[in-house]
Amino acid sequence: MIQWRLIDSGFCQPGFNMSLDKALFEDFLSGKSVPTLRLYRWAKPAISLGCFQNPNKVLNLEKCRKDRLEIVKRITGGFGLYHSPRELTYSLVLPADFTGNHSVKDSYQKITHFLIQAYRRLGLAACYAKDYFKSASSQKLKASFCFAQWQEYDILIKNRKIGGNAQKRKKGGIFQHGSIPFELPNNIEKYFLETENIQNKYTSLSELGVVNFHRFKEILIDSFKSSFGVELISEEMNQKSLI
């Protein structure tokens, strides 16, 4: 059985979360580390933007400042995401050949299968947008907010998007991360510009009746091991240990 490392970073500051994700990917590309699953949380509310997004063009900066939201950039593309302490985020560093001959788009199905499995083990009827709609692309809205965009391999539960996933590739490796919201405040789209009415377009685990965070994390890790066929070796790496 292939050995991967599991890093549970706990609560970290937004900027540190993004910096550590980048460092883990760079270490893997340089041959300094093995494939890695990292789980982490957000010490305070924040918004992460895709690497190509301009905050001045996609965010209502006045409202962000008023609510003291930190704004960080991801190494991945995609649209803006709202993060809170009531969220579990995963990041993955894996070899470029892990997804075989799949296209970048189709690789999301292989990589996110552990999420589908975890949700279903909770009794939630999770599926990909492509399997629910005849044309997932027809559900796209003009928006800079991730939850307003339904791509083919976004995960839906009860016809609502849960979390978001983004990917970056370099020669020799794939990096992917995604959000798993346990709870989301109302009207989070107010922080984004060009966002159409997307009420009832997204959901969270607490809204779906999942209230035990630690139990969910155990299920997620078990689902990852069974989906990927790997053994996870725990390693401590959090903000406190690296200072």
Query: What does pLDDT average to in each consecutive run of 10 residues of the chain (243 residues)?
Result: 90 96 96 96 97 94 97 95 97 91 84 97 94 59 67 91 94 95 90 74 94 95 96 85 61
CATH number for the domain running over 2-242: 3.30.930.10
158: tokens are: 């009860």
Domain ranges of the chain: 2-242
CB 227 within 8 A of CB 92: no
166: tokens are: 């983004």
Query: What is the C-alpha separation between 234 and 10, in angstroms, rounded?
Result: 13
| Catalytic residue from among 51, 64, 127, 146 | 146
Give Cα 208 distance to the centre of its chain. 18
Establish whether 51 is a catalytic residue. no
**What's residue 205's pLDDT?**
97
Beta-carbon count within 10 A of 218 CB = 12
Query: What is the C-alpha separation between 42 and 59, in angstroms, rounded?
Result: 20
Let me know if 175 is exposed, middle or buried by CB neighbors in 10 A (0-12, 13-18, 19+). buried
**What's residue 138's pLDDT?**
46
CB 43 within 8 A of CB 14: yes
**What's residue 143's pLDDT?**
58
Whole-prediction pTM: 0.92
**What's residue 222's pLDDT?**
98
3-state secondary structure at position 54? coil
In Å, what is the CA distance from 121 to each residue of 85, 124, 136? 24, 7, 25
